[in-house]
Structure 1
């Protein structure tokens, strides 16, 4: 057993050879031959993802801006916080502002970055930045071509009940609810910045 919890050298895998097996419009599938910590060899298949943001947008009455969107891979309409992928060279805040406006029509006066999450560590490089937004004003939304979603408002209590009943199963939204609960309970601080 390793005594230092920060020393992970005994766990690391090393790439011996890497190949792209699929290149799509924004996702890439790779297959790597790796050397295991014990010297053995194995293969790892994974998706390269550009990264994304998720926005916990708080309305003046405390309710949250939510979306309903059909997600083809799971063949379900999901309840989610607004979210979207980073464009090339785009920072997290810029992406959060763009996605909130495009998908919901809302602009926010204040923003705070809560943290990051790695939603699918076993098979993808995706990292999602978690942003809070408040001081919302509504304007026109500008959905991407081929994007269809409903925007609605829900209370924290409603969302928590939907999580417990299985109506809300989106992992990033559930993680966002954890951040929201911690912040509203005064157990974490957010550094707000003006837009």
Structure 2
């Protein structure tokens, strides 16, 4: 943290683990606020993830339709997945693209990082652009059901505007795709 931000810093006083799950861990911390008062902060620890923006040979982008239980609906999103302990983010991106879509890519570019929900999780999503795709057979995990679709950038932007694309990482990915000049 830079010294110019110290007036905003919240110093940890104590920390308690309140839930340990298979994927997520929830902590409740007491912090000292910049004015000296104390407050409680609850947050989720996450192992990190990757998201892939796969460009098909025709220029369209490869996406997935997947049911997301917490919101009880199907979402359109870019392929993504959780990092395994100690896993290199690029290797995770390559693995997830193959597992979820059956595609491999011969060209990979790291784009940046996304913090999807800064108010209550430490999750970071590393973003990758995958080009020169070759089709193959998806290798979905047990209990994973994904439908692959393709869309142009214009169709995706229209989906954000009409509310059919609302996944935050995908909306961010559309921005990145536009900045890379994808159509």
How high is the TM-score relative to the length of structure 1? 0.91
Please state how far the C-alpha of 1:6 moved relative to its aligned partner: 6.5
Alignment RMSD: 1.1
Give the Cα–Cα distance (whole angstroms) in 2 for the partners of residues 60 and 140 of structure 1. Answer: 17
Q: Does residue 130 in structure 1 map to residue 127 in structure 2?
A: yes
Which residue, out of 81, 87, 92, partners 2:89? Answer: 92
Q: Does residue 112 in structure 1 map to residue 109 in structure 2?
A: yes
Give the Cα–Cα distance (whole angstroms) in 1 for the partners of residues 3 and 146 of structure 2. Answer: 43
Give the Cα–Cα distance (whole angstroms) in 2 for the partners of residues 25 and 69 of structure 1. Answer: 21
- Aligned twin of 1:163: 160
- Aligned twin of 2:178: 181
Which residue, out of 37, 40, 44, partners 1:43? Answer: 40
Provide the secondary structure at the position in 2 that maps to 1:78. strand
Give the Cα–Cα distance (whole angstroms) in 2 for the partners of residues 113 and 6 of structure 1. Answer: 30
Give the Cα–Cα distance (whole angstroms) in 1 for the partners of residues 160 and 31 of structure 2. Answer: 38
Give the Cα–Cα distance (whole angstroms) in 1 for the partners of residues 39 and 154 of structure 2. Answer: 46
Kindly tell me the number of residue pairs found equivalent between the two proteins.
181
- Aligned twin of 2:21: 24
Please state how far the C-alpha of 1:46 moved relative to its aligned partner: 0.3
Give the Cα–Cα distance (whole angstroms) in 1 for the partners of residues 3 and 26 of structure 2. Answer: 30
Which residue, out of 137, 143, 157, partners 1:146? Answer: 143
Gaps of 5+ in 1: 186-195
Provide the secondary structure at the position in 1 that maps to 2:130. strand
Please state how far the C-alpha of 1:145 moved relative to its aligned partner: 1.2
Which residue, out of 47, 57, 63, partners 2:60? Answer: 63
- Aligned twin of 1:190: none
Gaps of 5+ in 2: none
Which stretches of structure 1, 4 residues or more, deviate above 6 A after TM superposition? none
Change (3 A) 1:6 1:61: farther
